[in-house]
Amino acid sequence: MVMTSGNNKLPTNQSSTAEVDAFLRKVAATPTNTAPGGRGRLIFALDATASRQPAWDRAAQIQGEMFSETANLGGLEMQLAFYRGFGEFKVSPWVATPKDILRMMTSVFCLAGETQIRKVLRHAINETKKQKVNAVVFVGDCLEEDVDRLGALAGELGLLGVPTFMFHEGADPIAQFGFKQIARLTNGAYCRFDANSAHVLKDLLSAVAVYAAGGRPALENLARKRGGEVLKIAHQVKGG
């Protein structure tokens, strides 16, 4: 579901270089708590309401990159979480291979409904109280919930040391405001992209996954292989 606004001065859909750079700087500055040789643990949360099917399909194709880039770092454990329809919220078991996530993602179809980001945040809190979660990634395009209530949950997640990286498709100003608040309160980061910048999303997701699994040295190694947006992170890490 995409919300609109009467404000004619909406941001453009295209992610700006400044926005991407700011996001990468935030990732580079975020401390990790992954034990040496241990697997990073990442919750991959998505909005699966009706408007999200094309983005869901793109994310399904991209997620394999997140695993492949962390294979030599001890690996990555990922849990898929999504909401759709009338109050439906589902999470997968923790898995360590891209084929498991891909199998689950390709079996899901999107359904009309309102956002349930509060359930994503509450779930992340509960999971990290059981065992440390290194990061949460969320991909969505709108927000239809009370921002103050979301802020309370985000603040709790921040106290637990779990950064949330909010990926915003499109230019809805309400979502932009709320997503930025969540990112700030969890010591995570916000970045906007559009349907024409899937390659940017792929690089950013890979960077977060690698950072969750291996910290700054791992980012520098990835940068030597991939360049592009990941190389920007490595340069900022060396400079910081």
- Give residue-wise pLDDT tens across range 83-125: 999 999 999 999 887 778 788 888 888 889 899 999 999 999 9
Q: Counting runs of H as helices and runs of E as strands, what totals does the chain give?
A: 8, 6
Pairing of strands 189-193, 40-47: unpaired
Give a yes or no: residue 87 inside a domain: yes
Structural domain contains residue 41: yes
Give me the pLDDT at residue 180, please. 92
Predicted pLDDT of residue 221: 74
The number of domains in the chain is: 1
Lowest-confidence region among 77-81, 148-152, 197-201: 197-201
Q: Considering the domain boundaries, does residue 188 fall inside one?
A: yes
CATH number of 51's domain:
3.40.50.410
Residues 154, 29, 73: CA angle, nearest 5 degrees: 95
Residue 37 has pLDDT above 70, yes or no: no
Query: Percent of the chain, pLDDT > 90?
Result: 29
Instruction: Give the number of other Cβ atoms within 10 Å of residue 146's Cβ.
Output: 11
Phi and psi dihedrals of 75, rounded to 5? 95, 175
What's the pLDDT score for residue 128? 95
Contacts of 204 (CB under 8 A, 6+ apart): 20, 23, 24, 165, 167, 191, 193, 229
Q: How confident is the model at residue 233 (pLDDT cuts 50, 70, 90)?
A: very low
State pTM to two decimals: 0.76
Residue 193 contacts residue 171 (beta carbons within 8 Å) = no
In this predicted structure, the answer to whether residue 6 has a pLDDT above a threshold of 60 is: no
Asked whether the beta carbons of 116 and 138 are under 8 A apart, the reply is: no
Check residue 202 and give its pLDDT.
77
CB 207 within 8 A of CB 230: yes
Residue with more model confidence, 187 or 222:
187
Residue 170 lies in a domain: yes
Q: Kindly report the average pLDDT of the chain as a whole number.
A: 76
Give yes or no for residue 161 having a pLDDT over 80.
yes
Residue 8 lies in a domain: no
**pLDDT bracket for residue 157 (50, 70, 90):** very high
Give the residue numbers spanning the domain of 106: 17-239
The pLDDT of residue 155 is 96
Over range 8-33, report the average pLDDT: 52
The predicted pLDDT at position 26 comes to: 60
Q: Give pLDDT tens digits for 41-67.
A: 889 898 888 777 777 777 777 776 676
Under the banding of pLDDT at 50, 70 and 90, the label for residue 149 is very high
Asked, for residue 177, whether it belongs to a domain, the answer is yes
- Pick the most confident of 13-27, 141-155, 220-234: 141-155
Task: Provide CB contacts within 8 A for 126, sequence distance 6+.
Answer: none
> At which residue do the structure tokens 């349930």 appear?
116
Residue 216: predicted pLDDT: 65
In residues, how long is the chain? 240
Percent of the chain scoring above 70 in pLDDT? 69
Task: Specify if 9 maps to a domain.
Answer: no
